[in-house]
Amino acid sequence: MKILIKNGLVVTINKNDEIKKMDILIEDDEIKFLGDNYNGNVDKVIDATNKVILPGLINTHTHLGMSIFRGTSDGLSLMNWLNNKIWPLEDKLTPKDVYYNNLLSCIEMIKTGTTTCCDMYFGVTEGINAIINSKIRCVYTRCLMDNDGLGDEKIKEFLDLYNNYKDKNPLLTFSASVHSMYTCSYEYLKKVKKLADENNLLLNIHCAENIEEINTIKEKYNKTPIQLLDELGYLQSKLLLAHGTYITDEDIKLLKNKNVSIAHNPISNLNLGCGIAPISKFVKNNINVSIGTDGQGSGNNLNLFNHIGYVDLLQKGFNKDAQIIESYDVLKMATINGAKALGLDNLVGSIEVGKKADIIILDMNNIEIFPTNNLIFDIVHNISINNIETTIINGNILMENHKLLLDVNIDDLKENINNILKKIGEI
């Protein structure tokens, strides 16, 4: 299958930061040509005249199964929300429920231009099947913890899934994730690290999210979370830290020049009263920063375009320095930096020949965002869902001209979700 996207303004996010009107030829799953006036035979042409083309956005921290918990965090701090709201509700979810919840999240991502996500949730085949059926690119990870005494069962469950699925779908890769240092024993944290090293997997953990976590780790280990990770050897592995709200200047020295990325989740961190991560300092120290939405329960939505505006504005406002960050830096965080964080930068994160065809097309001609004086600034701050026209993942057109092309009956999905909500009771 050859698809030609003609005449769009391509924001490549390549090494030269090229932004240029070009044709893009997709052959099967790959970008094969990028340049002026492609004239070969193709199966389908998408006219992108006056449109803007971006690499699909990459969401490096989410919990797809939480789509039904949107709006539940209002007025709750992190631990209150988890202990008294979310965890009791999640106990009532069946694997089939997770299928529908994941499907709903995947549709939200496709409609809002995200083509890759890192999902951390229960380890159930139904969850993975929803992701596979959605044809989205995903780094999948079962959220491991042993504070309920069931740590080994969770590891077994994860390894079973990993071994079953690792070669089944080119869009699906795996990461080993521990929920956090406050929900895992020291020995368990070491065990998961070993598992990750043995299987050459990305390690993934919620880290330094709020002040209670810092205090808990300090009390138990007399260390900061980052110092503890260092002792555990995590900083020697390929590691993705979610949040990093409370990372200190001393911690940053430990993180520098390591294979560590930080998934910044601005909306979730604000919503739960956690604070604002010092990502400008991370950037200054060459620590890779990517962006996550977190689940809808705390992040409100999976529309990454909503979240990137916060990334930019929070740094400017919180540091009282309008020059501390640029829109283009933020757009890189949501694309190529995300790919790096997930170990997928050889495949996605930019529009380049040889990369996989994960591409979105924006129509920015609507009168309400006219005129565009500063393209990248407008992409970061002024894109609504009605500007996101077409989403292509691995060469599959999953949305075209705002029409979802996935084989899902939306009314049935809504009914299934409503039934789950009825079953689990008041949320």
Considering the complex, state which of residue 259 and residue 382 has its C-beta at the smaller distance from its own copies.
382
Q: Is 61 in the site for its own copies (CB under 8 A)?
A: no
Q: How far is the CB of 56 from its own copies (least distance, A)?
A: 16
Q: Is 323 in the site for its own copies (CB under 8 A)?
A: yes
Q: Is 318 in the site for its own copies (CB under 8 A)?
A: yes
Q: What amino acid is encoded at 237 in this protein?
A: S
CA distance 69 to 82: 11
Backbone phi, psi, residue 356, to 5°: -70, 150
Q: Is 405 in the site for its own copies (CB under 8 A)?
A: no
Question: Given CA atoms 173, 179, 180, 183 in this order, what sign does their dihedral have?
Answer: negative
Q: Is 69 in the site for its own copies (CB under 8 A)?
A: yes
Q: Is 424 in the site for its own copies (CB under 8 A)?
A: no
Q: Is 99 in the site for its own copies (CB under 8 A)?
A: no
Considering the complex, state which of residue 47 and residue 415 has its C-beta at the smaller distance from its own copies.
415
- The two structure tokens encoding residue 225: 């979370």
Asked if the bond preceding 88 is cis, omega within 30° of 0, the reply is no
Q: Which of 51, 61, 63, 111 forms a contact with its own copies (CB under 8 A)?
A: 111
Task: Tell me which residue has tokens 């992190």.
Answer: 78
CA distance 185 to 183: 7
- The two structure tokens encoding residue 76: 């709750």
Q: Which of 95, 170, 317, 354 forms a contact with its own copies (CB under 8 A)?
A: 317
Q: Which of 19, 159, 211, 252 forms a contact with its own copies (CB under 8 A)?
A: 211
Q: Which of 4, 13, 26, 76 forms a contact with its own copies (CB under 8 A)?
A: 76
Q: Which of 7, 60, 102, 112 forms a contact with its own copies (CB under 8 A)?
A: 112
Q: Is 372 in the site for its own copies (CB under 8 A)?
A: yes
Considering the complex, state which of residue 114 and residue 227 has its C-beta at the smaller distance from its own copies.
114
Among the residue ranges 23-31, 131-139, 354-362, 407-415, the one whose residues contact its own copies (CB under 8 A):
407-415
Q: Which of 370, 403, 407, 425 forms a contact with its own copies (CB under 8 A)?
A: 370
Q: How far is the CB of 372 from its own copies (least distance, A)?
A: 7
Considering the complex, state which of residue 170 and residue 317 has its C-beta at the smaller distance from its own copies.
317
**In terms of residues, how long is the chain?**
427
Considering the complex, state which of residue 205 and residue 388 has its C-beta at the smaller distance from its own copies.
388
Considering the complex, state which of residue 155 and residue 399 has its C-beta at the smaller distance from its own copies.
399
Q: Which of 27, 248, 319, 352 forms a contact with its own copies (CB under 8 A)?
A: 319
Q: Is 259 in the site for its own copies (CB under 8 A)?
A: no
Q: On the CB side of 134, how many CA atoms lie within 13 Å of its CA?
A: 30
Strand 114-121 versus strand 57-62 pairing type = parallel
Backbone phi, psi, residue 223, to 5°: -140, 160
Considering the complex, state which of residue 194 and residue 414 has its C-beta at the smaller distance from its own copies.
414
Strand 396-400 versus strand 403-404 pairing type = antiparallel
Size of the site for its own copies (CB under 8 A): 69
Q: Which of 41, 49, 322, 403 forms a contact with its own copies (CB under 8 A)?
A: 322
Question: Under the rule (CB under 8 A), what is the footprint of its own copies?
Answer: 68-78, 80-81, 104, 107-108, 111-112, 211, 267, 269-276, 300-301, 303, 306, 309-310, 313-314, 316-324, 326-327, 367-374, 377-378, 381-382, 384-386, 410, 413-414, 417-418, 421, 427
